[in-house]
Structure 1
Amino acid sequence: MRCPYCSGPDTQVKDSRPSDDAAAIRRRRVCPDCGGRFTTFERVQLRELTVLKRSGKRVPFDRDKLQRSIGVALRKRPVAPDRIERLVSGITRQLESSGEAEITSETIGEAVMEGLKGLDDVAYVRFASVYKNFREASDFKALLGTLGDAAILPVEDESAAEIVPLRPKRIPRPHS
């Protein structure tokens, strides 16, 4: 493996151990040329997957892109990083074990939505709004209806649902 610092052609493995979720091997490496140290992760890949996009274009499956997309949907949400990693690994394993060498982007999107629905409702709605290209509020309303009654908080008083902007009170200045 090339050194990321000096691009030296050979690096030495100093330490190997399973990662936290045991789905990858974490390797600590050192470059004999510059002395730089870095970490790599080795994962099992059952098969090379190709993604068929809506435009008809074919691109190689990118696990990192999947992880970034899920990360964007989960930004600032109280979800542990190991749960995110398990979701990404589960979706990747599901796609690789499907038996197909070519998968549609719709299949990946549906798998992500299904995983996010069980993980975090807000992230599910965020991802769905981009994935399904929502154009108006009624699209959100229809999606929220699929989450069930627990996801929608009841409003006891209709007037409480109205949003009223707050304005600072004007305090009269004393005249001198």
Structure 2
Amino acid sequence: MHCPFCRNSDTKVLDSRVAEDGASIRRRRSCLACEQRFTTVELMQLSVLKRSGASEPFNRAKAIAGVRKACKGRPVSDDDLACLGQAVEDTLRASGSAEIKAHDVGLAILGPLRQLDEVAYLRFASVYRSFESAADFEAEIGLLRLDRAEAAAAAGEAGDGPGGDPRTVSAVGNAGQRPAPATSG
């Protein structure tokens, strides 16, 4: 390690601490020549194993660029994308593996993107999962509606939601459509 002040290569570690839940090590160093102190951070290098068999370092900006295309025209800010990129990288680092398959990077993107914007999620998933027909979109939308209905029902059980009224779940599940009229019986 070279001193950033005098470029001397003789430095001494004064203190080491684990940071970011074990994903990095922070070291406080002192230069033996100029006696200046500085901090270094060691990160585990993540590599992405591409489908072709080639390996390249994980690039958060590259992952965000792919998601940005799916978010075009959507109310998603650059800050939202930066947070998504951090969440994806955290997920990949938490796996404990230094080499991640490109497919797993896509899987790590899908979850946070689904929470961020459902339309962008559908766009990204359609390319990532190679949707081939409208039926593929319908099936994925059906899963989104089911998850939303389950979340609404859980909120109703907790006393925060609609109280388990099936008409409310139907209205939530069919966003943009009118709920079916209630029938007495």
| TM-score using structure 1 length | 0.58
Please state which structure has a larger fraction of its residues in helix: 2
Quote the RMSD (CA, aligned, Å).
2.4
What's 2:168 paired with?
none
Q: Residues 157-168 of structure 1 correspond to what in structure 2 (within 5 A)?
A: none
- The answer as to whether partners of 1:144 and 1:151 remain within 8 angstroms in 2 is no
Please state how far the C-alpha of 1:117 moved relative to its aligned partner: 0.6
Q: Which runs of 5+ in 1 are unaligned?
A: 1-43, 158-176
Please state how far the C-alpha of 1:98 moved relative to its aligned partner: 2.3
What's 1:142 paired with?
139
What's 1:52 paired with?
49
What's 1:84 paired with?
81
User: How far apart in 2 are the matches of 1:102 and 1:65?
Assistant: 17
Q: Residues 67-146 of structure 1 correspond to what in structure 2 (within 5 A)?
A: 67-146=64-143
Q: Residues 161-176 of structure 1 correspond to what in structure 2 (within 5 A)?
A: none
Q: Which has the higher contact order (CA 8 A, sep 6+)?
A: 1
Query: Bigger shift: 90-99 or 59-68?
Result: 90-99
Q: Which runs of 5+ in 2 are unaligned?
A: 1-40, 147-171, 180-185
| TM-score using structure 2 length | 0.55
Please state how far the C-alpha of 1:133 moved relative to its aligned partner: 0.9
- Equivalent pairs, count: 115
1:65 matched to 2:65? The reply is no
